[in-house]
Amino acid sequence: MITPADKLRELLQQPGMIVMPCCFDALSARLIEQAGFALTFMSGFGVSAARIGLPDTGLISYGEMVDQGRNICAAVSIPVIGDADTGYGNALNVRRTVQGFARAGFAALMIEDQLSPKRCGHTRGKSVVDRDEACMRVQAAVDTRDQGEDILILARTDARATHGLDEALARARMFAELGADILFVEAPRSEREMQTICGGLPGPLMVNMLEGGQTPLLSPDQLKRMGFKIAAFPLTLLSASMQAMKKSLISLREHGRPAADLMPFDELKKLVGFDEYYDAESRYTNKPRFDIKK
């Protein structure tokens, strides 16, 4: 049986750039798959906003993230990368986190070097742990993978914001030497910095394309030429859905009717999965009774 991790390994070996919209619940993950994308990422920012209505500042727990991820992974057939924040504690917590994410169905999980409570990578107030602790987290994640959990390790550093690009590159190289499968230097601030990252690190590499964030928004072709393998769009769907809901609520309050650009009910039912449900239901209805012999 091909596992989610196998699917991701195969994607990483194929040529070209992987455009990866990020999800925050099972429905957004289904929409990503139905739109033809081959990979998605469960955003910690998105899950914190959608599940508990709070900012991505370390308030959501390991258990809540795993539970959300289990539903997301069950809803799609494409591989899903999970945001595991700092690993939720010391090395043994990191091991448990890797085990939990693997058993929830994730193809990979992301471990970062921020000091807990962490922050969204493009907001203020970030700080990082020292190199030794950062490497300890990645080592614990890699050890757990190598001891039988079928999951890839995406190692992230936020040191660019606190110590500069050279320190971020040094940490990412150490993560690669420890055995991380994918590297992610968060929030480079110019195209030159992005080129430096690609020229100074082994692949595969991920980059965040956050609308309104600190990193320049470039096309997939530009990112591919630089050397990135995965272009994550972390908040595109959350921002679009919140904007649409806000407009509809304002229209309903002020005019007594929702905004005019609602999805037709028939299409909504189809995307949610009613057609598949009815097909499956028909197998068990309008059938002759079973002839059970005594």
How high is the pLDDT of residue 117? 74
Answer yes or no: do 41 and 67 share one domain. yes
Answer yes or no: do 254 and 192 share one domain. no
Is residue 290 domain-resident?
no
Domain harbouring 118, CATH code: 3.20.20.60
Answer yes or no: do 147 and 270 share one domain. no
Is residue 109 domain-resident?
yes
Is residue 157 domain-resident?
yes
Q: What is the pTM of this model?
A: 0.93
How high is the pLDDT of residue 125? 67
Is residue 294 domain-resident?
no
Answer yes or no: do 92 and 56 share one domain. yes
In the chain (294 residues long), the average pLDDT of successive 10-residue segments reads 96 96 98 98 96 93 97 98 96 97 98 84 77 97 97 97 96 98 97 97 96 95 97 97 94 88 91 91 74 64
How far, in Å, CA of 49 to CA of 32, rounded?
A: 19
How high is the pLDDT of residue 60? 94
For 244, other C-beta atoms within 10 Å of its C-beta total 15
How high is the pLDDT of residue 290? 65
How high is the pLDDT of residue 292? 65
Residues 76-118: tens digit of each pLDDT: 999 999 999 999 999 999 999 999 999 999 999 999 999 987 7
Is residue 291 domain-resident?
no
What range defines the domain where residue 112 resides? 4-234
Answer yes or no: do 248 and 106 share one domain. no
| 118, 58 contact by CB (below 8 A) | yes
As beta bridge partners, residue 22 has 41
Answer yes or no: do 132 and 160 share one domain. yes
Residues 13-36: tens digit of each pLDDT: 999 999 999 999 999 999 999 999
How far, in Å, CA of 152 to CA of 219, rounded?
A: 26
Is residue 81 domain-resident?
yes
- Token output for 11: 């994607």
Answer yes or no: do 12 and 55 share one domain. yes
Is residue 13 domain-resident?
yes
Q: Which residues contact 123 (CB under 8 A, 6 or more apart)?
A: 56
Is residue 293 domain-resident?
no
Query: What total number of domains does the chain contain?
Result: 2
For 186-252, give the DSSP string.
Answer: ----SHHHHHHHHHHS-S-EEEE--TTSSS----HHHHHHHT-SEEEESSHHHHHHHHHHHHHHHHH
| 60, 47 contact by CB (below 8 A) | yes
Question: How far is CA 231 from each of CA 51, 66, 218, 265, rounded to the nearest angstrom?
Answer: 25, 24, 10, 33
Length of the chain counted residue by residue: 294
* Residue 118 phi, psi dihedral angles, 5° rounding: -75, 175
Q: Which residue has the tokens 């990082």?
A: 128
Answer yes or no: do 121 and 23 share one domain. yes
Answer yes or no: do 268 and 193 share one domain. no
